[in-house]
C-alpha cells in the first residue's frame, strides 16, 4: 500500500474521499426511506419510493437537498497541480424558497496558491411554459487553458474528476455576465450570453499582436448556444413529465469577441460543435460515437483555443503516470502537448454485455478508439510556450474493464500512428477507471 500511496498521491486521497462520500449518501438515502410500522402501507411505500428516486436524482446531479438550499457537491473538495487541494462550499436556492427567483454561488480556497475564488449569481423566471430565465453572474476563478464548454450542457457532475488532478495550465479570470435561457421547442434549447472578462495566465505566456505582447487582456464576448435533441421522448410519471434522452443529439455554439467594446483587446470568432450517437443492441451491448469540432478565427489567445482533452502526465515510467482515466479524454496524450485553433475529434466506444457473475457483481468490458486532427494558424503569436499541432492526425486505442470493485476498474490505451513515440513505454497508458450510477 505504501508504494501505491506515493505513486498515486494525491489521487489516492481523492478516491478514498469519494468512496466515503458515496457510502454516506447511500446510507442517508436508505435511512430516509424506512417507513414507520404504523404507516407501513402500500401508499407510504410508493411515496417513499418517489422520494428516494427524487433524492438520488438530485445527488446524481451534484446536489445534496435541504429545505430551501441545495448544497452543491462540486465544491467540497478537489485537487489540481496549481491550487493543490481546493475546498469550499456552494449551493443554490430551490423551488421551496421560490419558483420565480433563484440564487447560486460558491466560495473555495486553494491551499497551494493561497487564494480564494468565488462566484455569485441570480436569476428570474419570465416564462414557466418555455423555461425562460434571465441570469446575471459575477465570477472570480480559474479556468483550464484550451478548455471549451457549451452553455446549454446539462449540469455535469462526477464524484471524482480524473483529469483535474494533473492540470497545471490555468488562467485567472474575473467575468461579469448576463444570459437568457429559453426553450424554443421541447426539443430545442438555447442560451445567449453577454460577458466581459479580465484574463491573466498563471504561467509564463505572452500573446503577440501587432508587435505588442499581451500578458493580461480584456474580452467582451457574445455567445449563443443551441442544444437540439430531436429524438428525445416524453412521458407522464406520477403527473410529472419525464424526458428520456434520444440519439443522435446536436450542440452548436457561436462566440464573438468584439475589440474596443468595453475596452476589449481582440476580435475573434469561434464555432463549436458536438454530436453524440448511441446504438443499443440485443444482449445489453451498445456502441457510442462522439464527434466534436471547433474553429477559431481572428486574434485568439491560447487561453481561448482548443486542446483535445489530454489526460497523461509527463513522467518517465508507466507506474509514475498511473492515475485515473477520464470519461472522454485521450489517455495517452500528454498535458500541454497539443493546441489547435481548428480541430476535430472522434471517439468510439463499444460496451460489451456485462459479465454477470452475480446480481450485484457485473463488470463490463468497453472497447475504445479515439482520433483527433487539428492545426494552428499564426503559431508564432504564442510566446514562451512550446507545443505541437495535430495536423498529422492523432490515434489511440484501448479498453476498459469497469466496475471491478466499488465502482473502480482498469483502463489500458496505446498510442499509434503519426505521433507514435520511439520509446514504446511512452505510448502506453495504464489507469484506474471510476464508474458509478445512482
Contact 159, 21 (CB under 8 A): yes
pLDDT at 418 over 50: yes
pLDDT confidence of residue 160: 61
pLDDT confidence of residue 153: 87
Which residues, 6+ apart, have CB-to-CB distance to 298 below 8 Å?
A: 257, 266, 267, 268, 269
DSSP helix/strand/coil, 221: strand
Q: Each residue of 85-109: pLDDT tens digit?
A: 999 999 999 999 999 999 999 999 9
Integer Cα distance of 335 and 431 in angstroms: 16
pLDDT confidence of residue 407: 84
Whether residue 318 is preceded by a cis peptide bond, meaning omega within 30 degrees of 0, is no
Angle at which helices 11-32 and 42-60 pack, to 10 degrees?
A: 160
Averaged pLDDT for residues 285-299: 97
pLDDT at 156 over 80: no
Integer Cα distance of 44 and 98 in angstroms: 27
Integer Cα distance of 304 and 148 in angstroms: 8
Say what percent of the chain tops pLDDT 70.
Answer: 83
Integer Cα distance of 365 and 351 in angstroms: 6
pLDDT confidence of residue 13: 47
pLDDT confidence of 62, banded at 50, 70, 90? confident
DSSP helix/strand/coil, 239: coil
Integer Cα distance of 331 and 308 in angstroms: 11
The CB-based long-range contact list for 234-241 (8 Å cut-off, 24+ gap) reads: 234/186, 238/50
Task: Mark residue 110 as left, alpha or beta (left: phi above 0; alpha: psi -120 to 50; beta: remaining).
Answer: beta
pLDDT confidence of residue 30: 45
pLDDT confidence of residue 374: 97
b/e 318-329 (16+ beta carbons within 10 angstroms → b): eeebbbbbbbeb
Q: Each residue of 307-358: pLDDT tens digit?
A: 999 999 988 888 888 888 988 899 999 999 999 999 999 999 999 999 999 9
Whether residue 10 is preceded by a cis peptide bond, meaning omega within 30 degrees of 0, is yes
Integer Cα distance of 76 and 90 in angstroms: 8
pLDDT at 295 over 50: yes
Say what percent of the chain tops pLDDT 90.
Answer: 69
Residues present in the chain in total: 438
Q: Each residue of 212-267: pLDDT tens digit?
A: 999 999 999 999 999 999 999 988 777 677 888 899 999 999 999 999 999 999 99
Q: Each residue of 196-205: pLDDT tens digit?
A: 999 999 999 9
Q: Each residue of 123-142: pLDDT tens digit?
A: 999 999 999 999 999 999 99
Q: What is the mean pLDDT of the chain?
A: 87
pLDDT confidence of residue 25: 46
pLDDT at 24 over 90: no
How distant is the alpha carbon of residue 28 from its chain centre? 27
Integer Cα distance of 21 and 159 in angstroms: 8
DSSP helix/strand/coil, 234: strand
pLDDT confidence of residue 438: 53
The better pLDDT of the pair 160, 18 is held by 160
pLDDT at 398 over 50: yes
pLDDT confidence of residue 425: 94
Amino acid at each position: 500500500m505504501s508504494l501505491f500511496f506515493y505513486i498515486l498521491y494525491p489521487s489516492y486521497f481523492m478516491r478514498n474521499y469519494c468512496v466515503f462520500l458515496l457510502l454516506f449518501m447511500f446510507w442517508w438515502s436508505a435511512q430516509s426511506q424506512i417507513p414507520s410500522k404504523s404507516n407501513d402501507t402500500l401508499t407510504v411505500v410508493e411515496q417513499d419510493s418517489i422520494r428516494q428516486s427524487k433524492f438520488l436524482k438530485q445527488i446524481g446531479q451534484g446536489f445534496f437537498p435541504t429545505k430551501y438550499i441545495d448544497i452543491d457537491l462540486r465544491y467540497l473538495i478537489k485537487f489540481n497541480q496549481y491550487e493543490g487541494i481546493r475546498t469550499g462550499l456552494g449551493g443554490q436556492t430551490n423551488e421551496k424558497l421560490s419558483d420565480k427567483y433563484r440564487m447560486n454561488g460558491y466560495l473555495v480556497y486553494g491551499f497551494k496558491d493561497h487564494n480564494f475564488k468565488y462566484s455569485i449569481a441570480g436569476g428570474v423566471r419570465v416564462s414557466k411554459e418555455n423555461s425562460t430565465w434571465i441570469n446575471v453572474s459575477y465570477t472570480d476563478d480559474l479556468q483550464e487553458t484550451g478548455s471549451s464548454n457549451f452553455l446549454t450542457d446539462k449540469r455535469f457532475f462526477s464524484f471524482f474528476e480524473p483529469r483535474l488532478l494533473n492540470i497545471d495550465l490555468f488562467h485567472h479570470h474575473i467575468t461579469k455576465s448576463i444570459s437568457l435561457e429559453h426553450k424554443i421547442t421541447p426539443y430545442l434549447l438555447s442560451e445567449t450570453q453577454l460577458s466581459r472578462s479580465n484574463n491573466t495566465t498563471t504561467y509564463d505566456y505572452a500573446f503577440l499582436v501587432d508587435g505588442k505582447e499581451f500578458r493580461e487582456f480584456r474580452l467582451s464576448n457574445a455567445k449563443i448556444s443551441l442544444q437540439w435533441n430531436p429524438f428525445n421522448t416524453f412521458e407522464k410519471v406520477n403527473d410529472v413529465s419525464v424526458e428520456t434522452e434520444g440519439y443522435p443529439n446536436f450542440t452548436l455554439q457561436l462566440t464573438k469577441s468584439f475589440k474596443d467594446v468595453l475596452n476589449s483587446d481582440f476580435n475573434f470568432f469561434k464555432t463549436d460543435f458536438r454530436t453524440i450517437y448511441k446504438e443499443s443492441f440485443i444482449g445489453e451491448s451498445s456502441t457510442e460515437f462522439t464527434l466534436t469540432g471547433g474553429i477559431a478565427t481572428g486574434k485568439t489567445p491560447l487561453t481561448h483555443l482548443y486542446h483535445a482533452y489530454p489526460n497523461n502526465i509527463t513522467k518517465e515510467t508507466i507506474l509514475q503516470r498511473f492515475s485515473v482515466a477520464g470519461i472522454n479524454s485521450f489517455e495517452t496524450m500528454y498535458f500541454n502537448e497539443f493546441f489547435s485553433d481548428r480541430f476535430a475529434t472522434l471517439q468510439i466506444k463499444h460496451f460489451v454485455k456485462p459479465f454477470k457473475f452475480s446480481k450485484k457483481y457485473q463488470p463490463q468490458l468497453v472497447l475504445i478508439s479515439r482520433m483527433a486532427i487539428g492545426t494552428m494558424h499564426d503559431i508564432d503569436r504564442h510566446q514562451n510556450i512550446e507545443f505541437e499541432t495535430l495536423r498529422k492526425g492523432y490515434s489511440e486505442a484501448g479498453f476498459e474493464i469497469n466496475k471491478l470493485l466499488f465502482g473502480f476498474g482498469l483502463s489500458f490505451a496505446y498510442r499509434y500512428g503519426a505521433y507514435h513515440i520511439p520509446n514504446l513505454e511512452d505510448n502506453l497508458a495504464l489507469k484506474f477507471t471510476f464508474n458509478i450510477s445512482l
